[in-house]
Structure 1
Amino acid sequence: MLADYGWLAWIVIGFLAGGIAKFLMPGKDPGGCVVTILLGIGGAMVAGFLGRALGWYREPTDGAGFLAAIVGAVLILFVYRLVLKRR
Protein backbone atom coordinates (compact mmCIF):
# COMPACT_ATOMS: atom_id res chain seq x y z
CA MET A 1 0.00 0.00 0.00
CA LEU A 2 2.69 2.51 0.96
CA ALA A 3 4.63 1.96 -2.25
CA ASP A 4 1.74 3.48 -4.23
CA TYR A 5 2.15 6.86 -2.52
CA GLY A 6 4.96 9.37 -2.35
CA TRP A 7 7.45 9.94 0.40
CA LEU A 8 5.15 12.38 2.22
CA ALA A 9 2.52 9.66 2.61
CA TRP A 10 5.23 7.33 3.99
CA ILE A 11 6.03 9.93 6.63
CA VAL A 12 2.40 10.62 7.58
CA ILE A 13 1.35 6.97 7.68
CA GLY A 14 4.58 6.05 9.49
CA PHE A 15 3.93 8.71 12.11
CA LEU A 16 0.34 7.56 12.63
CA ALA A 17 1.22 3.85 12.77
CA GLY A 18 4.21 4.45 15.05
CA GLY A 19 2.17 6.73 17.31
CA ILE A 20 -0.63 4.19 17.65
CA ALA A 21 1.91 1.44 18.36
CA LYS A 22 3.50 3.55 21.11
CA PHE A 23 0.03 4.25 22.50
CA LEU A 24 -0.83 0.54 22.54
CA MET A 25 2.47 -0.32 24.26
CA PRO A 26 3.11 2.51 26.70
CA GLY A 27 6.44 2.72 28.39
CA LYS A 28 9.80 4.42 28.21
CA ASP A 29 10.90 4.31 24.61
CA PRO A 30 13.52 6.60 23.10
CA GLY A 31 12.93 9.20 20.49
CA GLY A 32 10.46 11.76 19.39
CA CYS A 33 8.74 12.33 16.09
CA VAL A 34 11.53 11.01 13.87
CA VAL A 35 11.82 7.73 15.78
CA THR A 36 8.03 7.37 15.77
CA ILE A 37 7.96 7.84 11.99
CA LEU A 38 10.77 5.32 11.51
CA LEU A 39 8.98 2.89 13.83
CA GLY A 40 5.81 3.09 11.71
CA ILE A 41 7.68 2.75 8.42
CA GLY A 42 9.70 -0.15 9.82
CA GLY A 43 6.48 -1.75 11.04
CA ALA A 44 5.03 -1.56 7.54
CA MET A 45 8.17 -3.11 6.10
CA VAL A 46 8.22 -5.92 8.68
CA ALA A 47 4.52 -6.61 8.11
CA GLY A 48 5.02 -6.67 4.34
CA PHE A 49 7.97 -9.05 4.63
CA LEU A 50 6.10 -11.39 6.98
CA GLY A 51 2.97 -11.21 4.84
CA ARG A 52 4.88 -12.24 1.72
CA ALA A 53 6.72 -15.00 3.61
CA LEU A 54 3.43 -16.40 4.90
CA GLY A 55 1.71 -16.12 1.51
CA TRP A 56 -0.82 -13.49 2.57
CA TYR A 57 0.14 -11.19 -0.31
CA ARG A 58 -0.17 -12.77 -3.73
CA GLU A 59 1.69 -10.21 -5.80
CA PRO A 60 5.29 -9.28 -5.02
CA THR A 61 4.30 -5.62 -5.19
CA ASP A 62 1.55 -5.98 -2.57
CA GLY A 63 2.42 -4.14 0.59
CA ALA A 64 1.16 -4.06 4.12
CA GLY A 65 -1.88 -2.01 4.96
CA PHE A 66 -2.23 0.51 7.75
CA LEU A 67 -3.36 -2.02 10.37
CA ALA A 68 -0.54 -4.36 9.43
CA ALA A 69 1.91 -1.46 9.80
CA ILE A 70 0.63 -0.92 13.35
CA VAL A 71 1.00 -4.63 14.14
CA GLY A 72 4.53 -4.60 12.70
CA ALA A 73 5.44 -1.53 14.76
CA VAL A 74 4.10 -3.18 17.93
CA LEU A 75 6.21 -6.24 17.08
CA ILE A 76 9.30 -4.05 16.69
CA LEU A 77 8.62 -2.39 20.06
CA PHE A 78 8.15 -5.79 21.68
CA VAL A 79 11.46 -7.11 20.33
CA TYR A 80 13.20 -3.85 21.28
CA ARG A 81 12.01 -4.19 24.86
CA LEU A 82 13.07 -7.84 25.01
CA VAL A 83 16.57 -6.92 23.87
CA LEU A 84 16.74 -3.98 26.29
CA LYS A 85 15.60 -6.14 29.20
CA ARG A 86 18.51 -8.56 28.69
CA ARG A 87 21.14 -5.82 29.09
Structure 2
Amino acid sequence: MLGLIISLIVIGLIAGAIARLVVPGKQNLSIPATIVIGIVGSFVGGFLGYLLFHKDAQNGFFQPSGIIGSIIGAIIVLLLWIRFGSRSRSRV
Protein backbone atom coordinates (compact mmCIF):
# COMPACT_ATOMS: atom_id res chain seq x y z
CA MET A 1 0.00 0.00 0.00
CA LEU A 2 2.83 2.40 0.83
CA GLY A 3 4.47 1.65 -2.52
CA LEU A 4 1.23 2.55 -4.32
CA ILE A 5 1.00 5.89 -2.52
CA ILE A 6 4.64 6.74 -3.21
CA SER A 7 4.32 5.76 -6.88
CA LEU A 8 1.15 7.89 -7.24
CA ILE A 9 2.98 10.88 -5.78
CA VAL A 10 6.06 10.41 -7.99
CA ILE A 11 4.05 9.83 -11.18
CA GLY A 12 1.79 12.76 -10.23
CA LEU A 13 4.81 15.04 -9.78
CA ILE A 14 6.37 13.98 -13.08
CA ALA A 15 3.12 14.23 -15.07
CA GLY A 16 2.15 17.56 -13.46
CA ALA A 17 5.59 19.06 -14.05
CA ILE A 18 5.65 18.00 -17.70
CA ALA A 19 2.12 19.35 -18.16
CA ARG A 20 3.20 22.70 -16.69
CA LEU A 21 6.17 22.77 -19.09
CA VAL A 22 3.99 21.99 -22.13
CA VAL A 23 1.14 24.41 -21.39
CA PRO A 24 2.21 27.97 -22.28
CA GLY A 25 1.94 30.80 -19.79
CA LYS A 26 2.73 31.17 -16.12
CA GLN A 27 0.85 28.97 -13.69
CA ASN A 28 0.92 30.02 -10.05
CA LEU A 29 0.81 26.52 -8.62
CA SER A 30 2.69 25.04 -5.69
CA ILE A 31 4.42 21.66 -5.77
CA PRO A 32 1.52 19.91 -3.96
CA ALA A 33 -0.93 21.42 -6.47
CA THR A 34 1.28 20.14 -9.30
CA ILE A 35 1.23 16.66 -7.74
CA VAL A 36 -2.57 16.76 -7.39
CA ILE A 37 -2.95 17.85 -11.02
CA GLY A 38 -0.70 14.96 -12.07
CA ILE A 39 -2.62 12.41 -9.98
CA VAL A 40 -6.01 13.62 -11.21
CA GLY A 41 -4.58 13.70 -14.73
CA SER A 42 -3.55 10.07 -14.35
CA PHE A 43 -7.13 9.07 -13.63
CA VAL A 44 -8.40 11.28 -16.48
CA GLY A 45 -5.89 9.59 -18.79
CA GLY A 46 -7.05 6.17 -17.61
CA PHE A 47 -10.67 7.12 -18.22
CA LEU A 48 -9.88 8.43 -21.71
CA GLY A 49 -7.83 5.33 -22.47
CA TYR A 50 -10.75 3.14 -21.48
CA LEU A 51 -13.16 5.17 -23.61
CA LEU A 52 -10.89 5.08 -26.66
CA PHE A 53 -9.46 1.56 -26.49
CA HIS A 54 -11.94 -0.35 -24.25
CA LYS A 55 -9.10 -2.02 -22.34
CA ASP A 56 -9.13 -3.09 -18.70
CA ALA A 57 -12.90 -3.38 -18.49
CA GLN A 58 -12.55 -5.59 -15.39
CA ASN A 59 -11.11 -2.66 -13.41
CA GLY A 60 -13.83 -0.26 -14.49
CA PHE A 61 -13.27 2.95 -16.31
CA PHE A 62 -11.99 5.00 -13.36
CA GLN A 63 -8.41 3.79 -13.17
CA PRO A 64 -4.87 5.15 -13.19
CA SER A 65 -3.02 5.13 -16.49
CA GLY A 66 0.59 4.89 -17.60
CA ILE A 67 2.97 7.83 -17.78
CA ILE A 68 1.89 8.91 -21.29
CA GLY A 69 -1.80 8.82 -20.36
CA SER A 70 -0.97 10.61 -17.11
CA ILE A 71 0.78 13.44 -18.96
CA ILE A 72 -2.08 13.81 -21.46
CA GLY A 73 -4.62 13.78 -18.64
CA ALA A 74 -2.57 16.28 -16.61
CA ILE A 75 -2.43 18.65 -19.59
CA ILE A 76 -6.22 18.44 -19.90
CA VAL A 77 -6.71 19.01 -16.15
CA LEU A 78 -4.25 21.93 -16.14
CA LEU A 79 -5.99 23.58 -19.09
CA LEU A 80 -9.33 23.21 -17.30
CA TRP A 81 -7.75 24.58 -14.10
CA ILE A 82 -6.45 27.64 -15.94
CA ARG A 83 -9.73 28.17 -17.79
CA PHE A 84 -12.19 27.78 -14.91
CA GLY A 85 -10.00 28.37 -11.85
CA SER A 86 -8.81 31.80 -12.95
CA ARG A 87 -12.36 32.88 -13.76
CA SER A 88 -13.59 32.08 -10.24
CA ARG A 89 -10.69 33.98 -8.65
CA SER A 90 -11.25 37.07 -10.81
CA ARG A 91 -14.82 37.49 -9.54
CA VAL A 92 -13.76 38.14 -5.95
Calculate the TM-score normalised by the size of structure 1: 0.78
Point out where structure 1 has 5 or more consecutive residues left out of the alignment: none
Structure 1 residue aligned with 2:6: 8
Structure 2 residue aligned with 1:47: 45
The 5 A counterparts of 1:2-81 are: 5-61=3-59, 63-81=64-82
CA RMSD, Structure 1 to Structure 2 (Å): 2.1
Q: Would you tell me which structure has more helix in proportion to its own residues?
A: 2
> Which 10-residue stretch deviates more, 47-56 or 63-72?
47-56
Point out where structure 2 has 5 or more consecutive residues left out of the alignment: none
2:57 partner SS: coil
- In the alignment, the residues of structure 1 paired with residue 87 and residue 76 of structure 2 have an alpha-carbon distance, to the nearest angstrom, of 15
- In the alignment, the residues of structure 2 paired with residue 22 and residue 11 of structure 1 have an alpha-carbon distance, to the nearest angstrom, of 16
> Contact conserved, 1:48 with 1:64, CA < 8 A, in 2?
yes
> Contact conserved, 1:57 with 1:63, CA < 8 A, in 2?
no
Identity %: 33
Calculate the TM-score normalised by the size of structure 2: 0.74
Counterpart of 1:35 in structure 2: which amino acid?
Answer: A
| Structure number, greater radius of gyration | 2
